[in-house]
Structure 1
Amino acid sequence: MSIESTILFIADACPELRAAAEALAREPDYRVIMAARDGEAADVLNDAHVDLILADVESADFDIVAFLSRLRFTHPDLVRILLVGGEPGLRLSEALARTAAYQYLTKPLQAEQACLVVKRALETRELARRHRRLVRELKIGDDSTFLHGKPDGVAKGEASHFERLVYASEAMSELCGLAREVARTDLPILIEGETGTGKELLARALHFHSRRSSSPLMVQNCGGVRDELLHSELFGHKRGAFTGAVSDRLGLFRAADGGTVFLDEISEISPSFQVSLLRFLQEGEVKPLGCDQTMHANVRIIAASNKPLKQLVKAGQFREDLYFRLKGFDLEVPPLRARPADIPVLTEFFVRKHGGLLSNRVLGVSNDVIEIFKAYRFPGNVRELENEVRRMVALAKDGEYLTRRHLSPALATLRASANDRLALKPDGRTLKEMVESLEGQLVRQVLEKCRWNQSKAARELGLSRVGLANKIRRYALADGMTRAG
């Protein structure tokens, strides 16, 4: 296989299982991750894009069958292979049914057999994926009998992954390529981007690809947290340091020693806490509340902000020295509206995800829906797209395609404007006249979509209020505003 596949090995350490894992890891197309407990396995699945799980169902630490059964719905594309001991029996049959496992292997495990079964399992999954695509594109086979109202074509696309980030656009490909490179360094990273673009997923992927991946990743949202509590969360406190401090607290910096701490909404911290954070970044010093002793912690900081910190620095709201300390590398996640090529693959990913969670077999998404998604601005970005798809999947019947009628009312009303935008016709004899005609039509469309709210329309067009007012006068659009009122 040309693309590296990730295999999660869930088992207690023993010679034959370790030998099989090492044999798989020697294959150039496989990345093998070991986990001994459910917490470790869940953390890996939260941070990494895993293709196949090899799990010892006789693990004494936790109920692996129940764990794998949940993955049928949360990770429907994940291939599951069970490792069992002794003779197959009723208990194995029950485990295979509950987990929907692809295959089982008996212990003691042979490395060559494990490699062969893993290879065949991944090949089978790829063939099934291609078959699903062909059925959707050609609208053939038995699935078409479930279709209520044929969609105008079915959305398709090839997705790439940077762990849990899913994308197809050139912009995200360049971003994730750079992120893979900077992950291997030890410098702080600043991730900027609008709310809902996937900054935390990027931070988790960075940690997973770093040299600190075997140590903890701790996450702290700094938004709306008062200084005393934030200091306690990050630096820790001693018992009695403040009201409610009934026991000692280690703090995330010391708890993540050797690992990574992700600070979300870093723009929201107060000027006084900015000083404390700056000192930590400079010296690695940790002084818990109520403690006279200074300690040290070795962590990498990944910070994220949905506000441009550079502008906050210019406005005097954020320390310049802290900004440059945080910005060892600066990664900016583009908004969804700036990468429309990601919309089809993200939509398909969310359909599979939520179709599995709701036990709803959705066959695909019509191109009409994708075009409406591309016409919509998605102020909530990927998070808003996921919410919309989840709602559509919940409304769809088993065996249906998602079409226009499943859209929420706010997006369903965009159909006309989306089609009209494609049907813009320039008017005039010269190039200048035709360009001005198109500009006037586009300004009118945005004004109508925003119900003639000029502030909102100006933001969407990237104009000032004065600039928009000038274009309204220039193209004699004010009469439409009167009618709208």
Structure 2
Amino acid sequence: MSLESSILFVGDPCPEVKAAANALTQDCDYRVIMASHDAEATDVLNDAHVDLVLADVENRDCDVVAFLARLRFTHPDLVRVLLIGDEADARLNEALARTAAYQYLTKPLQAEQTCLVVKRALETRELARRHRHLVRELKIGEDAQFAHIRTDVPSKGDARHFERLVYASEVMAEVCGLAREVARTDLPVLIEGETGTGKELLARALHFHSRRTSSPLMIQNCGGMRDELLHSELFGHKRGSFTGAVSDRLGLFRAADGGTVFLDEISEVSPSFQVSLLRFLQEGEVKPLGSDVTMHANVRIIAASNKPLKQLVKAGQFREDLYFRLKGFELEVPPLRARPDDIPVLTEFFVRKHGGLLSNRVIGVTNDVLNVLRAYHFPGNVRELENEVRRMVALAKDGEYLTRRHLSPALAKLRVSAPSDGLGFKAEGKTLKEMVESLEGQLVHRVLEKNRWNQSKAARELGLSRVGLANKIRRYALAEGKPGLS
């Protein structure tokens, strides 16, 4: 558990705090992140997955108690531990009540005690999570007898995290595994995927796992911007260089020197601006608008596109040399419909997130609702799923399950046929031979879809040779994007 746990210190990084942080890192294998005030800590929480926060309530740079009180609703799963002076006063009880802190530690910190409290706090959190899961399963089982709640869908594996990305599917595990590896390099990264799949979250995770994490991450959406304005945003400008330029502007490339710049919707930049980007990627040169001086900036570029750049290159709409410069490493985030195993864990994550914000304590989500969500196409991907869950939570009362009546009208009327077996396959045909072939075709198609039609991986999973798999694809007339046999 400790290898996956991250600790956030909020406060002055004094020697005893650094000693405790080193003990947590070296002796307990936790990842420790330091933040001097609440704004910096908020940035960390937006980019990284954090399990426990240790915050100094005597921090003069911010109101730590108010900050931790907000975290009760914005990050309900985050364990909160207070750091206080060696003489506790009457304000301690108020601070403990407002923040719902697990425990408090007195300063000066002792490394061994800090490690022990953190370890016990995370163990308690894990036990509470397992308890909630078991109670939910038992409660749904009891209520099903009276409320006709379906319980025939098996629960999936626990959620995994790559910072703020939440997933359970193998396809996302593969993407995030590759991202962890490339994060350690300085290669440019091109992230492709449909709108709403989580490309920006992946870019933030890449930056946070890189050697540049102590330097800024700057984000720029390139869609729908004039060349002059986009050039100003990225390269900067001198005062008077164009109408409205009333002062000098540094530009994101120079502001992020030593860090990372994320360029979203890179496919939308004009051919002329592509030349400027190519020059920067080749030489690191920055020439602000209205300036004759060329400067340099050392930044890592992460670009994202919801259109396949390779096809735009073939169509002559994107420079091939810029494309190859951007794709030092290429990651593709699959659409939500291609990873249905992520829907239950994402739904639970959004229920807890928005339930905390709205102070609605939703008990859980019925399997009937999960079946509907898994069957829906989700053209808006994860963003659309989050909006749907947020709407459901807003309609629910305290202590309720989310049922079909909480769904939006378009999803509520969606009829999902009950699976005939645990795998969701339905045998077709009149004879035993025909039914067996029908099930075999569905299974082969399912495994191919799961592996995104990588026939080598699918063959290994099925225990077949490449030739044997190819024969079955021909025999059952299977094709990518074409529904399987049913």
The TM-score range, normalised by the shorter chain, is 0.7 to 0.9
Structure 2 residue corresponding to 1:152, chosen from 150, 153, 173: 150
Contact (CA 8 Å) 2:82, 2:104: kept in 1 or not? yes
Secondary structure (helix, strand or coil) at the match of 1:346 reads: helix
Task: Describe the shift of the 1:198–1:18 C-alpha distance in structure 2 as closer, same or farther (beyond 3 A).
Answer: same
Distance between the aligned counterparts of 1:418 and 1:248, measured in 2? 64
- Give the corresponding residue for 2:465: none
Aligned-residue RMSD, C-alpha: 2.6
How much does 1:146 deviate?
13
Structure 1: 5+ residue stretches without partners: 440-460, 469-485
- Give the corresponding residue for 1:50: 50
How much does 1:405 deviate?
1.3
Distance between the aligned counterparts of 2:111 and 2:139, measured in 1? 42
1:423-480 Cα distance to aligned partner (Å, 9 max, x none): 8663555749986xx99xxxxxxxxxxxxxxxxxxxxx947xxxx9xxxxxxxxxxxx
Distance between the aligned counterparts of 1:168 and 1:123, measured in 2? 22
Task: Describe the shift of the 1:18–1:432 C-alpha distance in structure 2 as closer, same or farther (beyond 3 A).
Answer: closer
Secondary structure (helix, strand or coil) at the match of 2:384 reads: helix
- Give the corresponding residue for 2:91: 91
- Give the corresponding residue for 1:16: 16
Task: Describe the shift of the 1:103–1:146 C-alpha distance in structure 2 as closer, same or farther (beyond 3 A).
Answer: farther
How much does 1:22 deviate?
1.2
Secondary structure (helix, strand or coil) at the match of 1:225 reads: coil
Contact (CA 8 Å) 1:152, 1:368: kept in 2 or not? yes
- Give the corresponding residue for 2:81: 81
Distance between the aligned counterparts of 1:6 and 1:434, measured in 2? 49
41-50 or 22-31: bigger deviation? 22-31
- Give the corresponding residue for 2:118: 118
1:310-363 Cα distance to aligned partner (Å, 9 max, x none): 000000000000000000000000000001111111111111111111111111
Task: Describe the shift of the 1:432–1:66 C-alpha distance in structure 2 as closer, same or farther (beyond 3 A).
Answer: closer
Secondary structure (helix, strand or coil) at the match of 1:58 reads: coil
Matching residue's letter, 1:149: A
- Give the corresponding residue for 2:408: 408
What TM-score do you get using the length of structure 2 for normalisation? 0.86
How much does 1:401 deviate?
1.2
1:127-148 Cα distance to aligned partner (Å, 9 max, x none): 000000110112289xx78998
Distance between the aligned counterparts of 2:23 and 2:204, measured in 1? 27
Task: Describe the shift of the 1:93–1:320 C-alpha distance in structure 2 as closer, same or farther (beyond 3 A).
Answer: same
Matching residue's letter, 1:355: G
- Give the corresponding residue for 1:446: none
- Give the corresponding residue for 2:205: 205
Secondary structure (helix, strand or coil) at the match of 2:415 reads: helix
Task: Describe the shift of the 1:147–1:398 C-alpha distance in structure 2 as closer, same or farther (beyond 3 A).
Answer: farther
Matching residue's letter, 2:132: R
Secondary structure (helix, strand or coil) at the match of 1:24 reads: helix
Contact (CA 8 Å) 1:336, 1:378: kept in 2 or not? yes
Matching residue's letter, 2:241: A
Structure 2 residue corresponding to 1:426, chosen from 421, 428, 433: 428
Contact (CA 8 Å) 1:191, 1:303: kept in 2 or not? yes
- Give the corresponding residue for 2:191: 191
Distance between the aligned counterparts of 2:330 and 2:28, measured in 1? 31
Matching residue's letter, 2:107: K
Contact (CA 8 Å) 1:79, 1:102: kept in 2 or not? yes
Task: Describe the shift of the 1:198–1:411 C-alpha distance in structure 2 as closer, same or farther (beyond 3 A).
Answer: same
Distance between the aligned counterparts of 2:137 and 2:370, measured in 1? 14
Matching residue's letter, 1:126: E
Distance between the aligned counterparts of 2:209 and 2:81, measured in 1? 25
Distance between the aligned counterparts of 2:86 and 2:376, measured in 1? 57
Distance between the aligned counterparts of 1:146 and 1:73, measured in 2? 30
Alignment of 1:336-355 (within 5 A): 336-355=336-355
Matching residue's letter, 1:113: Q
Contact (CA 8 Å) 1:9, 1:35: kept in 2 or not? yes
How much does 1:419 deviate?
6.9
Secondary structure (helix, strand or coil) at the match of 2:263 reads: strand
Structure 2: 5+ residue stretches without partners: 443-479
Task: Describe the shift of the 1:13–1:432 C-alpha distance in structure 2 as closer, same or farther (beyond 3 A).
Answer: closer
The answer to whether residue 304 in structure 2 is matched with residue 332 in structure 1 is: no
Matching residue's letter, 2:49: H
1:392-426 Cα distance to aligned partner (Å, 9 max, x none): 11111101111111111111111246779968663
The answer to whether residue 242 in structure 2 is matched with residue 242 in structure 1 is: yes
1:249-289 Cα distance to aligned partner (Å, 9 max, x none): 00000000000000000000000000000000000000000
Distance between the aligned counterparts of 1:128 and 1:25, measured in 2? 25
- Give the corresponding residue for 1:479: none
Percent same amino acid at aligned positions?
80
Matching residue's letter, 1:265: E
Matching residue's letter, 1:285: E
Matching residue's letter, 1:253: F
Secondary structure (helix, strand or coil) at the match of 1:139 reads: helix
Distance between the aligned counterparts of 1:17 and 1:147, measured in 2? 54
1:98-121 Cα distance to aligned partner (Å, 9 max, x none): 111111111111111111111110
1:157-178 Cα distance to aligned partner (Å, 9 max, x none): 4011000000110000111111
- Give the corresponding residue for 2:455: none
413-422 or 203-212: bigger deviation? 413-422
Task: Describe the shift of the 1:406–1:418 C-alpha distance in structure 2 as closer, same or farther (beyond 3 A).
Answer: farther
Distance between the aligned counterparts of 1:146 and 1:35, measured in 2? 47
Task: Describe the shift of the 1:284–1:342 C-alpha distance in structure 2 as closer, same or farther (beyond 3 A).
Answer: same
